[in-house]
């Protein structure tokens, strides 16, 4: 049964992609409906898969000796992320029905979204490193195609290419890891790698560990590879919600969490992970304070919150990191979708042109405020519980300087969150024109996510149990039932964090009196504007890659003779390797 469910969860969206594409763009209503139906069915399959978590492979496909066996393992980590990907995916598709009404090329849009959902499910459920690499590449392809969806807009195309190049360079690390595993253990299964990681020569293990960190940092937009994410905001907003907040950017954190037992003992690795998480959380939060584009603030916020998850993995709190991943997926998708509703009706992304929208968009204001309170980490909402858990793990198991930095970042998070909410919904309106509240589909999608924000923290006990039982190599011990909540509520660290958040909120409230702080550090604002220099670095990498590609164009002559020579040359190399190895 489980193997059927796994197969369905991956194949249903893919069949849906084909169906929507074949329907043709002259029947948009049918395309909308088909997309919603297929994504909801996939979500249902994923939810049905949840109770059958197990640490043994449920679906194995033999593909010959070179690639090993393609296995799908429904362990706690995998099935939970599957549920997140498909449920948030179906909500984003439902939202798209209103958002993309009247747009061109709907077939291409929905096909790519559905293709992505299936590939994301495959990525988190796969038990073979090589298979994981294949799905990783598919998600990167869909992300690129969707960022550049408005392909007559040069900014969108440029953003898509940058995202593609930077995440792909990281993906090469994953392929190298798969090859190393195959070379040493004869099989690319992740479980075999985790079990025998200690037997690898330490130099090789270090290379793999840092390579995995680079791949994860590139995919999850962590410092120093974070600059592609703000540029990816050219995508339609449901895409930003799905791919760049709730699913694909989590793939990097997922990678770190899954391979944590193998790499934890590599010298300096955990410190490097903590450092990457800390820098991302802190710098991105600072940049969010100065940004004026609504989606850009949310992009920086995503980088910052992913930094929290990475930091949690670094200090050994794998459960805390995944729990925060769940909360973040829900409330960040909510924020992005609500922001999309705002942008759709106001017509601009610039927050300086918004304001006072609370009267005209009451529903959106309510759900947005719920999401924002979760982001800031106020009690009752899911963001509070998960962020406190992360900070606690950090205090008990990690270096103190990192904890202090994360605490300050939490305060800055509250600051920019409050600023964002204020600039959009409160104050006096700063533009003319009529705005309407969100459409039905938008209200449905954001409403469900708001309910989720209020309630997903209740799943912590069951989720922890799932992880503990089905991840044999991680050695997790999660307190059962409600002890988790009591621990959080009674720890002094929680109240310390709440105090810092209150300071952040107060800083916004009394911003007039704090104006002198802004005068004292003008360089901060300018530095934030250029992403603290990382933008230049990433742009260099992208330009070098593109010019290398242009230089290599000359090898594509199109002449049969040269192509056949290439084939013969390849054959000679293969035969030579075989002859020497025999």
Q: Tell me: does residue 490 bind other proteins (CB under 8 A).
A: no
Nearer to other proteins, 352 or 359 (CB): 352
Nearer to other proteins, 183 or 548 (CB): 548
Q: Tell me: does residue 580 bind other proteins (CB under 8 A).
A: no
Nearer to other proteins, 400 or 552 (CB): 552
- 412 within 8 A of 504, measured Cβ to Cβ: yes
From the CB of 365, what's the least distance to other proteins, in Å? 17
Q: Tell me: does residue 236 bind other proteins (CB under 8 A).
A: no
From the CB of 500, what's the least distance to other proteins, in Å? 18
Q: How far apart are CA 297 and CA 281, in angstroms?
A: 13
Q: How far apart are CA 373 and CA 382, in angstroms?
A: 10
Identified binder of other proteins from the candidate list 231, 307, 398, 504, rule CB under 8 A: 231
Identify the residue whose tokens are 């010959």.
Answer: 64
Per CB under 8 A, which of residues 382..411 are in contact with other proteins?
none
Each as own residue / partner, the long-range contacts of residues 460-468 (CB below 8 Å, 24 or more positions apart, any chain) are 460/323, 460/385, 460/484, 460/485, 463/76, 463/80, 463/319, 463/322, 463/323, 463/326, 464/319, 464/323, 466/53, 466/76, 466/79, 466/80, 467/76, 467/77, 467/80, 467/318, 467/319, 467/322, 468/76, 468/319
- Secondary structure of 108-158 in HEC code, one letter for each residue: HHHHHHHHHHHHHHHHHHECEHHHHHHHHHHHHHHHHHHHCCCCCCHHHHH
From the CB of 4, what's the least distance to other proteins, in Å? 28
From the CB of 553, what's the least distance to other proteins, in Å? 4
Q: Tell me: does residue 63 bind other proteins (CB under 8 A).
A: no
Nearer to other proteins, 32 or 349 (CB): 349
Each as own residue / partner, the long-range contacts of residues 473-479 (CB below 8 Å, 24 or more positions apart, any chain) are 473/191, 473/194, 473/195, 473/261, 473/262, 474/260, 474/261, 474/318, 475/261, 476/318, 476/319, 478/319
From the CB of 288, what's the least distance to other proteins, in Å? 12
Identified binder of other proteins from the candidate list 66, 523, 555, 581, rule CB under 8 A: 555
Identify the residue whose tokens are 């040269």.
Answer: 562
Nearer to other proteins, 234 or 392 (CB): 234
From the CB of 528, what's the least distance to other proteins, in Å? 8
* Phi and psi angles of residue 189, each rounded to the nearest 5 degrees, phi first: -70, 140
Q: How far apart are CA 297 and CA 401, in angstroms?
A: 26
What are the residues facing 126 on neighbouring strands? 72
Nearer to other proteins, 145 or 205 (CB): 145
Q: Tell me: does residue 541 bind other proteins (CB under 8 A).
A: no
Q: Tell me: does residue 562 bind other proteins (CB under 8 A).
A: yes
Q: Tell me: does residue 544 bind other proteins (CB under 8 A).
A: no
Residue 432, C-beta contacts closer than 8 angstroms, at least 6 positions apart = none
Q: Choose the stretch contacting other proteins; rule: CB under 8 A; options: 267-275, 347-355, 369-377, 490-498.
A: 347-355
What are the residues facing 69 on neighbouring strands? 62
Identified binder of other proteins from the candidate list 423, 438, 442, 497, rule CB under 8 A: 423
Indicate the DSSP class of residue 245: I
Nearer to other proteins, 400 or 578 (CB): 578
* Calculated CA dihedral for residues 120, 56, 306, 343, nearest 10 degrees: 30
What is residue 69's three-state secondary structure?
strand
Identified binder of other proteins from the candidate list 184, 290, 363, 485, rule CB under 8 A: 290
Q: Tell me: does residue 535 bind other proteins (CB under 8 A).
A: yes
Nearer to other proteins, 404 or 525 (CB): 525
Q: Is 556 left (phi over 0), alpha (psi -120 to 50) or beta?
A: beta
Q: Tell me: does residue 224 bind other proteins (CB under 8 A).
A: no
Nearer to other proteins, 131 or 147 (CB): 147
| CB atoms near residue 534 (< 10 Å) | 16
Nearer to other proteins, 155 or 204 (CB): 155
Q: Tell me: does residue 551 bind other proteins (CB under 8 A).
A: no
Identified binder of other proteins from the candidate list 52, 265, 352, 440, rule CB under 8 A: 352
Q: Tell me: does residue 568 bind other proteins (CB under 8 A).
A: yes
Q: How far apart are CA 564 and CA 552, in angstroms?
A: 18
Q: Tell me: does residue 489 bind other proteins (CB under 8 A).
A: no
Q: Interface with other proteins by CB under 8 A: which residues?
A: 154-155, 157-159, 161-162, 231, 289-290, 292-293, 349-352, 355, 419, 423, 427-428, 509, 511-512, 514-515, 517-519, 522, 525-526, 528-530, 535, 539, 542-543, 546, 549-550, 553-562, 564-565, 568-569, 571-572, 575-576, 578-579, 582
């Amino acid at each position: 049964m489980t193997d059927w469910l796994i197969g369905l969860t991956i194949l249903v969206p893919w069949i849906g992609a084909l169906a929507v594409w074949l329907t043709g763009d002259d029947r948009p209503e049918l395309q909308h409906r088909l997309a919603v139906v297929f994504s909801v069915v996939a979500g249902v399959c994923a939810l049905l898969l949840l109770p059958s978590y197990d640490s043994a492979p449920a679906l194995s496909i033999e593909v010959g000796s070179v690639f090993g066996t393609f296995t799908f393992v429904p362990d706690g980590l995998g099935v939970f992320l599957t549920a997140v990907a498909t449920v948030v995916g179906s909500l984003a598709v439902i939202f798209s029905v209103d958002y993309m009404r009247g747009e061109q090329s709907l077939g291409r849009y929905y096909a790519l979204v559905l293709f992505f959902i299936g590939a994301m499910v495959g990525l988190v459920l796969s038990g073979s490193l090589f298979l994981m690499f294949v799905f990783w590449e598919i998600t990167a392809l869909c992300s690129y195609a969707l960022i550049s969806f408005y392909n007559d807009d040069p900014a969108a195309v440029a953003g898509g290419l940058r995202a593609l190049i930077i995440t792909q360079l990281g993906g090469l690390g994953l392929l190298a890891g798969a090859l190393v595993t195959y070379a040493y253990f004869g099989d690319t299964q992740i479980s075999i790698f985790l079990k025998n990681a200690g037997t690898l020569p330490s130099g090789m293990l270090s290379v793999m560990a840092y390579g995995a960190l680079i791949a994860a940092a590139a995919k999850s937009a962590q410092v120093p590879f974070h600059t592609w994410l703000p540029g990816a905001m050219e995508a339609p907003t449901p895409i930003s919600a799905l791919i760049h907040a709730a699913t694909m950017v989590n793939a990097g954190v997922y990678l770190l969490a899954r391979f944590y037992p193998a790499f934890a003992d590599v010298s300096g690795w955990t410190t490097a992970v903590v450092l990457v998480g800390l820098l991302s959380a802190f710098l991105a939060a600072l940049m969010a304070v100065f940004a004026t584009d609504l989606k850009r603030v949310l992009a920086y916020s995503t980088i910052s919150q992913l930094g929290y998850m990475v930091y949690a993995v670094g200090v050994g709190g794998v459960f805390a990191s995944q729990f925060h991943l769940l909360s973040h997926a829900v409330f960040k998708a909510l924020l992005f979708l609500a922001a999309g509703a705002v942008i759709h009706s106001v017509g601009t992304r610039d927050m300086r042109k918004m304001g006072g929208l609370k009267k005209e968009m009451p529903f959106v204001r309510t759900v947005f405020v719920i999401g924002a309170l979760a982001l800031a980490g106020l009690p009752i909402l899911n963001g509070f519980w998960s962020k406190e858990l992360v900070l606690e793990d950090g205090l008990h198991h990690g270096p103190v300087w990192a904890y202090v930095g994360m605490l300050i970042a939490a305060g800055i998070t509250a600051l920019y969150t409050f600023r964002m909410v204020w600039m959009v919904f409160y104050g006096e309106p700063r533009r003319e024109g009529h705005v309407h509240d969100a459409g039905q589909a938008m209200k449905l999608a954001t409403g469900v996510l708001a309910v989720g924000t209020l309630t997903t923290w209740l799943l912590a006990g069951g989720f922890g149990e799932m992880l503990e039982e089905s991840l044999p190599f991680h050695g997790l011990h999660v307190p059962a039932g409600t002890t988790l909540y009591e621990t959080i509520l009674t720890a002094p660290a929680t109240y310390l964090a709440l105090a810092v958040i209150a300071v952040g909120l107060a800083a916004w409230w009394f911003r007039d009196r704090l104006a002198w702080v802004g005068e004292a550090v003008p360089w901060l604002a300018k530095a934030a504007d250029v992403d603290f220099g990382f933008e230049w670095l990433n742009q260099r990498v992208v330009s070098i890659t593109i010019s290398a590609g242009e230089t290599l164009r000359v090898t594509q002559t199109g002449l049969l003779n040269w192509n056949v020579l290439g084939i013969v040359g390849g054959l000679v190399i293969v035969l030579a390797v075989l002859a020497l190895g025999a």
